[in-house]
Structures are given as C-alpha cells and as structure tokens.
A and B are shown apart, each in its own frame.
Chain A
Amino acid sequence: MKQKLYASLDEAVADIPDGAQIMFGGFGGAGFPNNLIQALARKGTKNITAVSNNCGTREGELGLMFKNNQIKHVIASFPGPHANYFQERFAAKEVTLELVPQGILCERMRAAGAGLQGFYTTVGVGTEVAEGKEERLLEGERCILELPIHADYALIKAQQADELGNLTYRLAARNFNPIMAMAAKTTIAEVEEIVPVGTIDPEHVMTPAIFVHRIVQAKGLRYAG
C-alpha cells in the first residue's frame, strides 16, 4: 500500500518545482495550510501560479510567498484588505492577477476535479469578468462560459486524517479545502492529528482518502494572519 504519511513538512513539499500551479486552502484566517506555506517558503520554489481566495494577511498565509516574490501569477477572488505584500508586487507588475467571483472560483476548481470541461453561468455577465469569454443565451438567460482551473498541487489544512488520508475539518475551517483536494494532481494535507485507519466514522469523513496523496502533521502555526 502506498505510504501517504510524511515525517516533515519540508519533505512533503520537497518535489514542488518552479513554475508549479498550486492551490492554497483557507478563508478568513481559518483553514490555511500555514505550516506547508512556510515549508514552501523555506524551499524557495519560484514562479508559482497560485490559486487562492485571498492573497495573504500581512506576512501571514500567502503574504510570506508574495514577500519572497515566489508567486508570478495568482487566480483569486478577494485579495483582501491586508494583502500588502501582494499589492506591492501587483503595483510593481511583478505579479499578475486573474480576479474570479468566489463561487465561480469554487465551481471552476470543482469542474477540474469532476472531469468537466467547464460550465455556463449568469454570474459576471456584463461585467469585467465576462471579457473575452464566450456568451450565449440558455434558458432565456445570458450566460458566459467558464473553464476549469486545474492544479499540480493543492496545499490544504484539515483537522484529522487517518493514515489512508480520509479527512475531517473543524467548523468553518473547511471552506475551500475539500474542493481543492479534488482538483489537484497531488493533494498535500497538513492536519492537527493523524489517527489509525478505522478511527474516523465513515459517515463523518468529509474528504475521502482517494483525493489525498500526502499527509503531514502540522507542527507550529494554526493561525498566521
């Protein structure tokens, strides 16, 4: 059986190459893979395309990666009021941004995970978001075509993992994590606790192990913003 447990955060991200497209979970300070982000900062991977709801809170969350200039392009919904390192890089044209409505960001990732080639939506019709996108009339509504967002890696945060990679999340720390877990080729989960297989009630599994490739116990930061 394939071993998914990693002994350290650094080992869990050791093979992430320059130029990788990476999803980062988390919202509102909750559910960020802060310890994996720090490991990726230590590794120094460059030219990353990041997919994330926001762009960091000062040095916290993705802020560190912008401070270190590791990200060249970001697909985000709401960079956020304290994403100062991102905004500096953005103003200096060192990073480019695709802004996506938040629910559409979710669905484009879900399309990738679900093997769908995209979908039509009324969201964003007539706005900047629609520029360059195919528009058609469906069920009497103007709609635009949205394409999937894939990733090489997803870095996510969960509460509990069993050794197979079945995951649970805590409260509203779930947010983007289950969606990203399904969308990436390799999903790396940092978790508070690793338990033996069979410990998590199958009815309580929130992300089934099939979507999770690496598990590492987080040692350090829970909240970084």
Chain B
Amino acid sequence: MANFYKDNDDIQFLFRHIDLTKLAELAEEGFKFANEFDYAPTDAGEAIKNYEMVLDSLGQLSGDFIAPRAEDVDRQGNTLNADGTVTYAKGISESLEKLAKADVMGFTLPYRFGGLNFPNLVYSMAIEIVSRADAALMNIFGLQGIAETINAFASEEIKQQYLPDFAAGKVTGAMVLTEPDAGSDLQAVKVSGHDTGAEKPARVYQDAQGNWFIRGVKRFITNGCGDILLVLARSEPEISDGRGLSLYLVERGPWVKVRRLEEKLGIHGSPTCELFFNDAPAKLIGERQRGLITYVMSLMNGARIGIAAQSLGIAEAAFRVARDYAATRKQFGVVIEKLPAVRDMLIDMKIAVEAGRALLYETSCVVDQSISCEKRKELNPPTDKEQLKLLREQSRRLDRLASMLTPMSKYYCSEMSNRVAYDSIQVLGGSGYMRDYACERHARDARITTIYEGTSQLQVVAAVRGVCSGTAEKFLTELAGKEYDPQLKDLLGKLSAGMEQLKNAIIFVKANGNEYMDLCGKALVDIAIDLINGYLFCGQASAQVDMQLAGDSSSMKGRKVEIARRYITKNAPKIAALAELVKMGDKSTFTKYEAMIGPVPTE
C-alpha cells in the first residue's frame, strides 16, 4: 500500500502554501461551468478539494499499481511487429488502461471535451507523481500537451472530432517534429528529409481538391506509434526557414509505418519510433506557416514543463532509494548515513529535489496566470480602455516571465535529476551499480531529460535573454518585496547581495556582445536560479500554513527554515565566484579553441 501523493510531505505542503484559490478562480472563469457540467466545481474550495482528491487517487495508482511494474517495463521494452505496429510493454498497457479509467488523460482540457479543466500546476504535480513511479510511462501520460495544442489552435471541427477521445484515454498522441537533419534546429525541417526507401524527396502536398498528404521520414518520435500524430512539415517549399512550416494532424493508419524502434539507454517503456509517411492524409492545424513559430513553440513550452516534472519525479524516486539504503546499511559499525560524506550527499540531494520542486511549481503558476490572461484578452477583453491596457501589460509581463522560468525549470530540474540519480548510485556503492536496485534505472531514465525537448544548453540560451533583459531583475525585486519571517533576515541580506553581483555581471556581459552572453549564459542563469530558489525557500519558511510531520515533532515550516538557511548560505560564495568568473572576460573559448583542443579534423 503506497500512495505517492500522501507519502510526500513536500508536495502536500506546497499544495497548501501556493495560492490555489487564485488559480482555481482563473481556470473556472467565475465558476460558470457548474451550470452545465455536474462535475464542475461551484467555488474555489470545491475546486481545490477536487484537485487534491484526484492527486490522492493518482498517488495511490502510482504507488500501488504503476511503480511495481516499472522494473519489468524497463526490462521488457516495446516490440516492433512485422506489420509496422508497436506493442507496448505489458506494464505500460496495463497502466494506461488504469489511467484512462481514472479519468486523468484530459487533465487540462475543457469540460466540454470531457476534460478536468485543472490548472497546469496540478498537472505538473501529477506528472511528477507518475514519473516517480515510472519515468517511461510519463512519456505517454505527459503528452497531454498534444491535445492541448489541438484545443488551442485547431478548428472547432477537429477539436470535436479528436479531443473527447484524448480525454477518455481512448487515444494517445505524438508530436512528430524531428528529422535526421533537423533536431534542435527545427527550422531545418525539409518536409521530412529524404525518403531513402523510395528514393524520392519527401514532401507535403495538396491534391486538386485541396486535401493534404504527407510523404517522408521522421525520426526519434516519442510514442510515434500513437493514434494521433501532430506532424511538422514544410508547406511552403520556397520559404526555407521556420516560417515555411505548418502543423498537420495525421491519424494512424496503413499510411504510417513504424520502420524502426530505437534502442535507448533509458526510458525503455517509451517507444521511440522512426516513422515513414506513405502519402498519409493530413489535416492542417490552424493556419499555414504558423506551425513552428506559433504552435510548436507553444507545444514545446508545455512539454518543457512536463520534462521538468518528469525529472523531478525521477529525482524523488532516486533520493528515496538512497535514503532508505543509507538508513539501514551498516559499515564500520554504524549505518552509513552517520558518515559525514554520505550525510552531506543526502542533504544536498534532498534540498536539490525541493529546490527543483519550488521552481517548477512557481513556473507552473506563472504559466497558468499567463494562459488565463491571454484567454481573457482574446475572448473577453475589458471594454474600459484603461483596464484593457492594464490587462495587456499584465499579459506581456506574465508571458515574459513564463518564457524565462520555463527553460529555467527544465534546465534546473533535468540537471538536478541527473546529479541526484548518480549520487543515489554512489550512496549504494557497489550495490547501486547492480541492477538489483532501482537507482541504476533512475540514472538511465534521467539521462535523456537534459537532452530532449531542447538540450540544457538551449534552455540556457532561452533563459539568459530573460536574465539579461531585466525580467529576472524585476521578478527578483518582486520576490524580495514580499513579507518574510524576521528570523530569515540575514538570509535575505545574502540574497540581495547576490542580486547586486548578478546585476554587475549582467552589465559586464552586455558590454561584451551577444556571443559573450551565450558563453556566460550558464553562469548567469545559474546565479539567477539560485537566487529565485532562495527566495522561494524563504517564502515557504514564512508560509501562512504549516504541517506537522508524520512520526516527528518538527513541522514543515521549521524544516524549511533549515533548508533555506543551508541553501542560501552555501550558495552565496558560489554566486560570488560565478559572478567573478563572468567578469574576468575570458574569451579563450573563441580565440584559443584550436590551440587548446587541436586543429579541426580533416577526415
């Protein structure tokens, strides 16, 4: 009997600490849906109760049903059948069936399509919980952004045709973007590379009646064997950049063949497919030419939050393996968690997990507010000019903030997940290296998170713009202006000192050009994230609510004071050093590249 929501004090504490009332009010648009749908809430209290009941139920399913199957799923993997179809690992099929019965495959979809209309924050919590049980299953459970993209941009007809099946868990989807020559650089999508099998260039084309068809190859497609495929293809051959790409919906059928399943280091339960589209009938989503620049960008932002949540779930699982082991394994006559080096590692792991959670949940809240602002602007703008102006300003501010925090969360959580999973193996020593314990699986599963949906390096590029353009400074100033518990005063002093160091580093970088900014991106983003997390921890330590810890006389707030203290105190010298490093202005990366690593290979 395990419940991955109920056994997680931190998620439950944040559930109470974060202002869910505001998010519920935004999502429910004045609770107008209750008149039409018998399961829609009539007030914020009821909505919040709904969120918690669903997380509780999902926590039970994850703990009791999904997690016990994860090891077999990892060993078994998926099977490519002769007819080009894919059979999931047994545990994945069984879990998907249970998830569908639990009504949780349309978390954020509107009521009218059978969805739950929950905020993204609650969806992030859910993804974390499921990923802790089985990271690979998340790649299907966490693909609800595909339905969300259809909801946001497709015609009413397409929405009505496909969304109810998504919400009911009758179909799964895939985002079909990558090609052999277009990975991180999606602008290079040709239509679909070259159809090497038929020796014909791949393309998307229209017949005389205006129906679209796609022909060609796509690679590295997560759940490419899914029922509904969103395919990025070049509809305007004469435009070679992102503006020539459109997004299409293709239903699975004899015209889509899975040619190959990749053999991966981790997430074995998630099928990664090479697809061949054989004149597949396609439906245009939204407008031509907006495929990459609007639709896929929006899809990607959601997916990045999803990967951050997946990373967090893996890290939580890995930490628990390490802690349980360290508390029982005896060496030198004591349990190993009494040894200073092991103790230190475990504390750092735990704090890193909670820092990632703080950042991800904050980001999800901002995204929820941003989406709701956007919606109001489009569907229900205020008639008063002054108010409209205010709304537009607010929307711009939230959008900028979301655009900075999203890559930060993805970057921080995925890197953190890898560190924690590796350290988990380290805590277990030789046993951790064996397949007998789950930590080796967690480390393999974590490895992809810093790569897909945009590498860490690209997340830094996306985030550093926000750090240097004033978004980070504004946000940090806003955080600094909140009310905190007086006992945190010295910590807040350290954070504001860090902010000054960040400002100075930014000034230096700006004077040194864009190339230098990209070079220093990681350092600047690292400083900004550490400061943001520091404030978020202080916020948690000053929360209006508290929670007694099970089997312990201490309280959650008391714990958070200690965590904030350690996190901020230990990061302060690192921040200072990073800022110094940036201000050294070392450009040897550009000027001495070959001198240091040798001439460019000729063969």
Bound pair (A, B): no
**Which residues of B approach A to under 8 Å, CB–CB?**
none
